[in-house]
Structure 1
Amino acid sequence: MRPNKLAVTLDDQSLTYSQLLTRVQQLALRLINDKGVQPGDIVCQCVDRSIEMIVGIMGIMMSGAVYAPLSPSDPLDRLDSLIRQVDAKLVLVNQMSRSYLSRLNVPIVDISEIV
């Protein structure tokens, strides 16, 4: 693998393999060490299509947790129902979805503050 080669590009954002790995590891360690995520825990992610979404998916999987996607365009009551049905440990959000999901009584982590 070439660490300085582009791994992912979306719109005007891009990350090399090295940058992607660093961000994924940062997120995985934060989920495990700071949020108590254990292998097999379900972690939801509610973000728009972005580089953060890719990092979130990979970070959740690297932590050993199970990735459960949520659509930020869904109504709040549907999101609440889905989060409870899967018994999510927490929900990863970004700046766009944070205020929307903060109305729910679920632990949220803003991925943009980590990576």
Structure 2
Amino acid sequence: MALRIEVSPEELDEIRKRKGEIEARFMDIEGLERTLKALRLRFLRERKERLEKKLSEMENHYRELVEFEEKAEKDRDFMLNLRMELSLENRELRKRLGGRR
């Protein structure tokens, strides 16, 4: 599996400025190990940040879903009560109309 590292234009400029220092570090095993550790830490930090952002988004979506469910339940109850009231009112009106005849 090939490791791909993406850098910003500013980071690329910095790398170009420090090319000699970076090349010397790669010739030095300890420097290479430090570089790999730094890159691994950067990768893990970025991954953690992406996961935290995704978790936050999921929590918000879940909260919205719960709120929607609660509102839907209230609306359902309201509509059932309204339907019952209308049914009773219609029954009373039929009684009154039937009683006049």
Length-normalised TM-score, structure 1: 0.22
| Structure number with bigger Rg | 2
Greater percentage in strand: 1
Length-normalised TM-score, structure 2: 0.24
Greater percentage in helix: 2
